[in-house]
Amino acid sequence: MKTGGITLRPIGYVRSSVTDPKDLPFEGVPAQIEILERWEEALDGIENYSHIIVLGHLNGAEPRSLKVHPMGISSLPEVGLLASRSPHRPNPITVTVTRLLRRKSRTLSVDPLDLIDGTPVVDIKPYHPSTDSVFGATTPDRFGLFRLIPEEELLRHLVREASRFHGEACAGLAIGVRIAWRAMKELACDLRSREVEVLSKAGGCMTDAVQALTGANSKRLRRSDELDDTIAITKGDRKLAFAISQDPRFREAEEVLRARDEEIFTLHMK
Ligand SMILES: [Zn+2]
């Protein structure tokens, strides 16, 4: 495998039920990585990590242009190739952070993986939250992108995003996600905006969801000990006060995602 004079050697290959890139969902699917026999011992200790970084190599994915539409959505303004996650790159190396479900000798079961069957894997690294994650990192406002995704799909994506911070996709987390998404629609911006501030008097799961989606540290997000099931989200002089409904009591994230806003919370705006 030669890329610009640098030789890359596959250390293994992806084994997946998906063989055509067109059939690969954006988030990826559960898959296996079969490491070559000569590298098996090099995996020792990887099983002690819950997540790994997988570097794959996409064959023949040449850059077509130095500017691309993010996620291939033509209504979004173009950005530079290197400011995007386009697969068509100078060196078509992919980077995926994925959950390591198990290691069986030289086979790693992971979920999800956004690479199709047969993709050469050129490296595996353990994922360290202490060095690989920057909680308050800033990104361009994603609201324009979010609005183009069907709401049901977007909410599932946001629950997944928030569960990376919270550790599970529980009903409380889904309630927090529903509140965060409604706030984004009312304020017409991504909650990661530095102007957005939160005061939460709601339970830990709901507050975690809002914190995950705001990327806010204690300067922008305060948690109160006096719990009264309210979350206030402000941006400049706009104030949204969410009061979480006590009835019905949701038991699963799925129920929350199917419910109407009015069943989950009441919203007062200033
Ligand atoms: Zn929870």
Ligand 1 center–CA 260 separation, angstroms: 20
Residue at a domain's end among 86, 112, 132: 132
Question: 113 with 184, same domain?
Answer: no
Ligand 1 center–CA 250 separation, angstroms: 12
How far, in Å, CA of 103 to CA of 126, rounded? Answer: 13
**pTM, to two decimals:** 0.79
pLDDT attached to residue 211: 96
Ligand 1 center–CA 91 separation, angstroms: 40
Question: What DSSP string describes 173-190?
Answer: HHHHHHHHHHHHHHHTS-
In a domain, 182, yes or no: yes
In a domain, 32, yes or no: yes
Under the banding of pLDDT at 50, 70 and 90, the label for residue 3 is low
Crossing angle of the two packed helices 151-166 and 204-214, in degrees rounded to 10: 110
Question: 111 with 204, same domain?
Answer: no
Ligand 1 center–CA 161 separation, angstroms: 14
Ligand 1 center–CA 60 separation, angstroms: 43
Ligand 1 center–CA 204 separation, angstroms: 7
pLDDT attached to residue 159: 94
Q: Residue 228 sits in which domain range?
A: 143-269
CA-angle at 247, arms to 245 and 253, nearest 5°: 80
Ligand 1 center–CA 236 separation, angstroms: 30
Per-residue pLDDT reduced to its tens digit, 131-146: 998 888 888 899 988 9
Q: Which two tokens stand for residue 55?
A: 């570097």
Q: How far apart are the first and last CA of the chain?
A: 60
Residue at a domain's end among 132, 163, 182: 132
pLDDT attached to residue 119: 96
**Count of structural domains, the chain:** 2
Lowest mean pLDDT among 163-167, 187-191, 237-241, 264-268: 163-167
Q: 259: domain CATH number?
A: 3.30.1330.130
Do residues 155 and 264 lie in contact, with contact meaning Cβ atoms separated by under 8 Å? Answer: no
Question: 10 with 125, same domain?
Answer: yes
Residue 63 has pLDDT above 80, yes or no: yes
Q: 121: domain CATH number?
A: 2.40.30.70
If DSSP codes are grouped into helix, strand and coil, which group holds residue 269?
strand
Question: 158 with 233, same domain?
Answer: yes
In a domain, 84, yes or no: yes
In a domain, 138, yes or no: no
Ligand 1 center–CA 212 separation, angstroms: 13
Percent of the chain with pLDDT strictly greater than 90: 73
How far, in Å, CA of 75 to CA of 72, rounded? Answer: 9
